[in-house]
Amino acid sequence: MSAKVFFIHGWSVRTTQTYQALHLKLAEQGFELKNIYLGRYVSLENEVEIRDISKAMHRALSEELGGDWSQPFHMITHSTGALVVKHWILNYYRGTLAQHQPLKNVVFLAAPHFGSRLAHHGRTMLAEIMELGETGKKILGALELGSTFSWEVNEGFFDPENWEDKGIRLYNLIGDRVKQDRFKSKIFPAAYEPGSDMVVRVASGNLNFRRYVFDSRDLSFAKLNEIKGIPFGALYRYTHSNEDFGIMNSIKRRTTLNDHQALQYIVKCLKVDNDAAYTAVYNELIEATRETRTKRQGFAQLDFRFRDDDGKPVTDYLVEIGAIVNGVEKPSKTVAQLHKNKLNPNHLTIFINLKELEPELKYFINIKAVSESDLYAYQPNPLTIEMVSNTITELIAEDHTTQIDVILARVPSENLFVFHKGNDPDLHVTWDRSGKVKKTKGKIA
């Protein structure tokens, strides 16, 4: 096959051996080794950002293509490589470069589209000791659950002109396997979380998602947009990057197509060249995910962003998910874990255990925003989203992330600003720090 294939690895990688024998296995399936390129980039410098790597990748791609953007090529990413490629697609792959639609298939392996629970741990002093230096803090910031980067970049894929209309076919493959280790799972539960591949949650690895807007000004709750129809497979045999079970790292020289499910799908995805074949892969991965669900329970993810009606972040809030049981409001057992973004605390991610979800119940989400002054308040407070069964199952979808953009009305108190009429007998007043009148003076001196 004449099409080139470019590999893009993830965070903290410092050897091309991370790809193991994937390039050799592709060669066995008709891809020429000379047309397979193993990418490498620096990810552990604190000041380097995803946009820097994206720009550097664009330069490297241009060199390898010889400036000829008419020749076909594919991309395979692992983990953080997905963030690099998505940024590149939105910011560089456009105009005359995309005119001939050379980029055909993009296979995302274990992609943290909506972040990783482990990312903020990578910015700690302990992580620096383990890495013997810097850990790539700005990249890890983009990787944190609910990051501003993930909201902005994923939003760009709502518009089909940015990818689908350019002839790009996207695929998501992620493992759903956690090694059993009672001792380590107690010490570091984030790395042994059910519903993940030990690094990325399955729901984070699915680029099919919905975004809702909840506006407290008129109490409207509406779907803003969604992405659907991208092939997605949760594969129960694989973890993120273990040599025995890693979705990519377990592909060895001795591996055959028949004994490695992930490799089978990688090859199938790369060979897709028409809509019918794309649909076939989509349906196959639905079945593969269903098989996984017979062995592993499903989870979902809610990703909140809180802003006031001027678009400014609201960072002090309380979110409660509950259900009405026998006429009484009770906290829901569905919440498996909450994460308030460290860099952007107006972002909150809630991991949902679907085993505890009872669709027949009436669920609600209470949002209580706290102002830092008596001179303004967020109203109404609490702000409540009430959900009947069909709403809750749409909002909380298995293996999906749902974003909820919450707009909170910031209302000044009546004492913050007041006019007094010139003919008021009590025209001249003094007031305290809260704006309350302390005493009046009828006349000026």
Q: Which of 6-10, 133-137, 334-338 has the lowest mean pLDDT?
A: 133-137
Give the CA distances from residue 290 to residues 136, 295, 333, 353, 399, in Å, rounded to whole numbers and listed in that order.
37, 9, 24, 17, 11
pLDDT at 441: 67
Residue 182 has pLDDT above 90, yes or no: no
Burial zone of 57 (CB within 10 Å; 0-12 exposed, 13-18 middle, 19+ buried): buried
DSSP H helices, 113-166, are 125-131, 137-143, 148-156
CA angle, 100 then 80 then 283, to 5°: 65
pLDDT in tens, 279-292: 999 999 999 999 99
Confidence of residue 125 (pLDDT cuts 50, 70, 90): very low
Q: Which of 62-66, 312-316, 324-328 has the lowest mean pLDDT?
A: 324-328
pLDDT in tens, 23-34: 999 999 999 999
DSSP assignment, residue 416?
Answer: S
Arithmetic mean of pLDDT, 85-105:
97
Q: Which residue has the higher pLDDT, 424 or 65?
A: 65
How far apart CA 49 and CA 37 sit, in angstroms, is 23
Of all residues in the chain, the percent with pLDDT exceeding 90 is 83
Q: Which residue has the higher pLDDT, 230 or 133?
A: 230
Which domains, and CATH codes, for the chain? 4-210+224-293 (3.40.50.1820), 299-412 (2.60.40), 415-445 (no CATH)
Give the CA distances from residue 8 to residues 37, 79, 81, in Å, rounded to whole numbers and listed in that order.
9, 9, 5
Q: What pTM value is reported for the model?
A: 0.94
